[in-house]
Amino acid sequence: MSRIRAVAINTVKQALRIKIVLVFMLILFVLIPVMALGLTGDGTIKGRLQSFVTYSLSLTSLILSLMTIILTTYSLSEDVYKKYAYMVLTKPIRRFELLLGKLAGVIFLDVVVLFFCAGLIYAATLYIPHYYEASGEQLDSLNNQFFTARSSLRPPVPDVTAEVVEEYRKLQASNQLPEGMSTQSIMRELTNRKLYEKHAVEPGRDIVWEFSNVRIPDPNQQIFIRFKYDVAVNPPDNVIYSIWDIGDLRQIDFAAVSATPIYRTQRQDIIRTSREFSINADAVADDGYLGVAFLNVPLNPTVVIFSPEDGLEVLYKSSTYTANFVRGVLLILFRLIFLACLGILASSFLSFPVAILLCITILCLAVSRGFIMESFNYLSQEVHLIYSLTIRLLIQFIPQFDQLNAAHYLVSAQLISWSAIAQIAALVVVLKAGILLALALVIFSFREIARVTG
């Protein structure tokens, strides 16, 4: 342990004295205050904070990711390239201790820099509302939709398998299957189409979502309906007029007697933008039932579609902004730990330029993994098979950084639960980063350090 500590301290000194960390810290400590003062968002105080948190946290995450990659790849590969390892590895230190020491040093620096940056961002978010004048309505919106952490309920995705299979058979029988597409791709296409059909509402029609086992910690608080309209044809003013009923809708359908109220609200909202409204939490029945009904008023000239992914959510407060912010920062740290292990693996057998290139490529893949995976769905049947057996497995191993975006959760005040944190830690840090580190240890243990390569 003392040897790992010695290497870790040495790594920290190296990072500080060759000024890598100082440059990155300078960038962050200049840009974060500039963003705090300069970003305005949609002009409201909430919009200002949302845009500040989005950009500052994303920038911090990106800069620290690059710093982590540079430090890990540089530190280890330079030890081998400049032959420092000749002196170190002939001392009573095991090779895995050297790697763990390097890793510990870089992660320590990550934690320190992340702590200061996150502290700066957090302090700025608390300070900004005092600096700008805002109406009471804006401040309410800020408290309910930003300075909080809300759990999210999404409607269950209906099972459309039988309908999709039936549709596929029909197409097959009539020889109308698209050429060149794999069966899997066609089925996926049909499934998406069916799901959108299920969530499409024609003018004058309504759609009802029913939630069960809704448990609101405090019945005196408010619940929030968050929605986003997609449309078949854009209305002239890009606005959809609607009527929403929220409460125990069983009273309407089955004439059941219930003390639970039904709240009705008439709205006009812009399309393709997430919108929210709040109602009292007593709309949830005692048995945990909550119904949400949307009426597409006949005035609208278009079909309104609610995307299965983010068409509708019911939100309620379940934690504080501070606690959620801390968990969001942990998400960033998990990314950094994964990248640190990746850097160690790459430099355990590659030179610095090649190792850093590999790591940055994987970082880009991780950031856009969702998009890449989706794009592969449209490959031809032959290529799809090769891809499924090779690249897909590798890409699936890379964590989906776009889903681990802390800013995304904090801006919409979505709860990052401790159970989610534990799951992500287990998957990204323990399993994936652990595999990378184990590979690095094996490779480096068998590597001939003094062998001249290239």
Partner 1 sequence: MKNEKYAIETFSLTKVFSDLWGRDKVYAVDNLELKIRYNEVFGLLGPNGSGKTTTLKVLLGLLHPTKGKALLLGGDSTDPKINSRIGFLPEESYLYTYLTARETLDFYGRLFSLPSQIRKARVEALLDMVGLKAVANRPVGTFSKGMARRIGLAQALINDPELLILDEPTTGLDPIGTRQIKDLILQLAKRGKTILLSSHLLADVEDVCDRITVLYGGKIQAEGKVKELLQQADKTQIISGRLSDDVLQKIRDLITSENAACEMSSPMEKLETFFIRTVVEAQKSNLPTSGAFSTTQIGDFLTAESRQQKILEKLVTATEVPEKTEETAKTKKTESVQAFDAKKSEILEQLTDDSKTSKTEPVSKTESVKDIPQTKQEINRDLLDELTGSGRESDKKENQPDKKEGGSGHE
- List residues binding partner 1 (CB under 8 A): 2-3, 5-6, 9-10, 13-14, 17-18, 82-84, 86-94, 448-451
- Decide whether 17 or 170 has the Cβ nearer to partner 1: 17
- Decide whether 88 or 363 has the Cβ nearer to partner 1: 88
**Cβ at position 20, least distance to partner 1 in Å:** 11
**Cβ at position 98, least distance to partner 1 in Å:** 9
- Decide whether 234 or 445 has the Cβ nearer to partner 1: 445
**Cβ at position 91, least distance to partner 1 in Å:** 4
Structure token pair of residue 220: 């005196």
Alpha-carbon gap, residue 374 to 379, rounded angstroms:
10
**Cβ at position 22, least distance to partner 1 in Å:** 13
- Decide whether 87 or 173 has the Cβ nearer to partner 1: 87
Structure token pair of residue 307: 């995307």
Alpha-carbon gap, residue 309 to 380, rounded angstroms:
26
**Cβ at position 24, least distance to partner 1 in Å:** 17
Q: Is 9 exposed, middle or buried (0-12, 13-18, 19+ CB in 10 A)?
A: middle
**Cβ at position 75, least distance to partner 1 in Å:** 10
Residue from 71, 56, 146, 141 nearest 110 by CA: 71
- Decide whether 84 or 241 has the Cβ nearer to partner 1: 84
Sign of the torsion formed by the C-alpha atoms of 388, 390, 396 and 402: negative
Q: Count the Cβ atoms, other than its own, within 10 Å of residue 19.
A: 11
**Cβ at position 111, least distance to partner 1 in Å:** 22
What sections of 237-320 are H helices per DSSP? Answer: 250-254
Cβ neighbours of residue 20 closer than 8 Å, sequence gap 6 or more: 67, 70, 71, 74
- Decide whether 84 or 387 has the Cβ nearer to partner 1: 84
**Cβ at position 451, least distance to partner 1 in Å:** 6
- Decide whether 439 or 449 has the Cβ nearer to partner 1: 449
Alpha-carbon gap, residue 150 to 153, rounded angstroms:
10
Give, in order, the Cα–Cα distances in Å from 366 to each of 119, 327, 340, 428, 430.
26, 20, 14, 12, 17
Number of H helices, E strands in the chain: 17, 11
- The residue behind tokens 């590659």 is 350
- The residue behind tokens 């001939």 is 448
- Decide whether 91 or 215 has the Cβ nearer to partner 1: 91
- Decide whether 15 or 329 has the Cβ nearer to partner 1: 15
Q: How many CA atoms lie within 13 A of 159 on its CB side?
A: 2
200-201 vs 275-280, strand pairing mode:
unpaired
Question: What is the three-class DSSP state of 370?
Answer: helix
**Cβ at position 1, least distance to partner 1 in Å:** 9
Query: Looking at this protein, which amino acid is placed at residue 360?
Result: I
